[in-house]
Chain A
Amino acid sequence: MTDDVALAFGEEWGRLVAGLIGWCGDWDLAEECAAEAFAAAVVAWPRDGRPDRPMAWLTTVARNRARDRIRRRTTESARHDALARLIDQAVQPPAEVGTGGVDDPEIADDRLRLIFTCCHPALPMPARIALTLRTLCGLTSAEIARAFLVTEPTMDKRLVRARAKIRQAAIPYRVPPSELLPERLDGVLAVVYLLFNEGYAASSGESLLRVDLTTEAIRLARLVHGLLPTADEATALLALLLLTDARRAARLRDGEIVPLPDQDRALWDASRTREAELLLRGSSGHTGPYAVQSRIALCHNLSERPEDTDWATIAALYSLLPATPVTELNRAVAVAMVDGPAAGLALAAPLEGDLGAYHLFHATLADFHTRLGDPAAAAISLRAAITLAPTPAERRLLRRRLAGLSLGMTE
């Protein structure tokens, strides 16, 4: 791909596909013709120069391809006849390609409709993620398959099924009405959040940071925030992702995980923290889960040294989150920094029933035991954590801690 086309692809793929789906109602056709339009651009743009209005150019070419395909279909069903008629009626004869014949208002920004449909609760979560990456971000199914450690045919099938369900069950292509909007927006944000987490801390496998997925997640979070600027939780999610991503360069050293207190804070990306800080300005009254989490992250990112961390504020913020066992565990960590490890242990120990299979529960207990001067108990917890840790890098980190502990014991 030439630079011009590659740039347009990154910027315009999602908008082009979204607009085409809105125009013809056929997801497969929209994707195929969007791909063909970009293929045509690879030939035409280096030859004729980049058009003044790339989006208009791409839309015109894609719509022409769509019309051709519909007419060429020999086994035309009545539905396609109707579709062809509809398209002929609805669309003015295209002006010459390259002169920007398609009016901008006609190329509505349908990406918001697209993301709400991709993240519809009637679709299985893996399909929501795959569909969002394919249609909005323009990742190929091979790329998505690689990112989620499944085979390409499996990913293809997932996408085909999702599109089939949208068509068969008549999942609407729209921004949900106001009574459904808060709940559906939660669903969209959950997909973006999951995507980021998948990229940031791969749940399995050796490759710890999947940069592509975190980049795509931030791009999507920006998109949702840009399209719904007054949605506090969408703003907060973007801030949270930026704050977490700001620490990316410091999170790994020589392929090994570096825990937050040991990270080289000079490597943190201050511009991302600043951007998030601006986004969160005036949000101190917001108590949505992303708003609270982003303010916790901001506390960390604004602390120049670990000992500067405002743990009292962080502990208070954790108590604003819904009291899930994992939230309580995090709150215990913060409380231990304020009131000492015994207070932390008192909060964390009762969570055993819920979190007994969670490696970070045992790692946290190990930390409390160590600080309380009980290396034997710490070693037991660390061994449990090592057994349960999902990735090799996390197991190595825990083993290093265990080794450090034995050293301390023999001294």
Chain B
Amino acid sequence: MKFMLIHTLDESAFPNEEECGVPVELESWATEMVGRGIELDGARLHPVSSATSVRRRDGRTLVVDGPFAETKEQVAGYDLLECRDLDEAIAVAAAHPTTAVGSIEVRPLEDGAPTVDLPEPDPARQRYLLLICAAMGAAPVEDAAHADRDPGHDPGHPGHDSDQDDDEDIDRWVDDLDSRGVRLFGWPLQHPSTAVTVSRPNGRTMTVDGPFAETKEQIAGYDLLECTDLDEALAAAAAHPVASFGTVEVRPLWAS
């Protein structure tokens, strides 16, 4: 089962982030988790000042500096894990050095995520994490009507009756980016009500039910892109079906 770890930090507590290298604990965590076959992908993001949010309203694309929501802690990185169950994912998150200084939201991916097979980074291009965000409504009711529904690429937006149309829109978006070699990976996350947030403020692991911040919009899915420049990433974000009612946050990755 796949889980996304969403690392969050209060960046103002780390004024010279750009100058600090990769801490030793991070290296050893990554080495261990890759070795155990748990870590499939992961990256640190540039500071939130490099974030851009894209929305499409009334046929117009709105590009705004900043993240999808103004929260005290900001998304600083992510990992994609393959774990037996939630408890293993929580333990893996708790062992990550981020929990000493910030917190990690653990979110299961919707079923059916493809195999992760990422190419080597192209040094001439920039990688971006697209956080697909939308107001999510209440947790979905688990009943027979939902059980057989293929989640597809739909990042699960509520109040939309035409789920099938939405699936088709998302498929078109994915096909277009994939055919141009722009999109490397992406999948919807399960509802934020499934989230667990892990931190280790004084050496003791704390596990809290729910996402890292109670914001109107929540992260509903993500996509990893490799683009020639920000304009290409912004165009992809603006074309995402969720951009017409939610927000797509575009974050550049550190070159590993």
User: Chain A: residues with CB nearer than 8 A to chain B?
Assistant: 120-124, 127, 161, 164-165, 168-172, 176, 180, 183
With A122-B63, A170-B126 as contacts: A165 and B49 at CB distance below 8 Å: yes
B40-76 vs A: 1/0 string, CB under 8 Å? 0000001101101000000001011110000000000
Q: Tell me which residues from 211 to 256 in chain B have a Cβ below 8 Å from any Cβ of chain A.
A: 227-231, 234, 250, 252
**CB of B120 closer than 8 Å to a CB of A:** no
B148 to chain A, nearest CB (A): 41
* Docked complex Cα distance between A183 and B230 (Å): 16
A122 touches B252 (CB 8 A): no
Known: A124-B66, A161-B49, A164-B50. 14 other contacts (CB 8 A): A122-B63, A122-B65, A122-B230, A168-B252, A169-B52, A169-B126, A169-B250, A170-B126, A170-B252, A171-B231, A172-B228, A172-B230, A172-B231, A176-B231
A124 touches B229 (CB 8 A): no
User: Chain B: residues with CB nearer than 8 A to chain A?
Assistant: 18, 46-47, 49-50, 52, 61, 63-66, 126, 128, 227-231, 234, 250, 252
Q: Which of B65, B229, B231 contacts A123 (CB 8 A)?
A: B65
Report A-chain residues with C-beta under 8 Å of the C-beta of B231. Answer: 171-172, 176, 180
Report A-chain residues with C-beta under 8 Å of the C-beta of B52. Answer: 122, 169
* Docked complex Cα distance between A183 and B229 (Å): 18
B229 touches A122 (CB 8 A): no
A113 to chain B, nearest CB (A): 13
B229 touches A172 (CB 8 A): yes
B252 touches A169 (CB 8 A): yes
Report B-chain residues with C-beta under 8 Å of the C-beta of A124. Answer: 65-66
With A169-B46, A172-B229 as contacts: A121 and B126 at CB distance below 8 Å: no
B63 touches A121 (CB 8 A): yes
Report B-chain residues with C-beta under 8 Å of the C-beta of A122. Answer: 52, 63, 65, 230, 234
* Docked complex Cα distance between A124 and B64 (Å): 7
A164 touches B229 (CB 8 A): no
User: 8 closest pairs, A vs B, by CB?
Assistant: A172-B229, A168-B46, A170-B126, A121-B63, A122-B52, A124-B65, A168-B50, A169-B252
A166 to chain B, nearest CB (A): 9
Closest chain A residue to B60, Cβ basis: A183
B229 touches A165 (CB 8 A): no
Report B-chain residues with C-beta under 8 Å of the C-beta of A164. Answer: 18, 46-47, 49-50
Closest chain B residue to A128, Cβ basis: B65
A170 touches B49 (CB 8 A): no
Report A-chain residues with C-beta under 8 Å of the C-beta of B63. Answer: 121-122
Report A-chain residues with C-beta under 8 Å of the C-beta of B228. Answer: 170, 172
- Enumerate 19 A-B pairs (CB-CB under 8 Å) in ascending A order: A122-B65, A122-B234, A124-B66, A127-B65, A161-B49, A164-B18, A164-B46, A164-B49, A164-B50, A165-B50, A165-B65, A168-B46, A168-B252, A169-B46, A169-B50, A170-B126, A170-B227, A170-B229, A172-B230
* Docked complex Cα distance between A120 and B65 (Å): 10
* Docked complex Cα distance between A120 and B63 (Å): 9
A278 to chain B, nearest CB (A): 34
Report A-chain residues with C-beta under 8 Å of the C-beta of B49. Answer: 161, 164-165
* Docked complex Cα distance between A201 and B227 (Å): 42
Report A-chain residues with C-beta under 8 Å of the C-beta of B252. Answer: 168-170
Closest chain A residue to B54, Cβ basis: A122
A396 to chain B, nearest CB (A): 37
Report B-chain residues with C-beta under 8 Å of the C-beta of A120. Answer: 230
* Docked complex Cα distance between A248 and B56 (Å): 41
* Docked complex Cα distance between A171 and B51 (Å): 12
Closest chain A residue to B63, Cβ basis: A121
A387 to chain B, nearest CB (A): 30
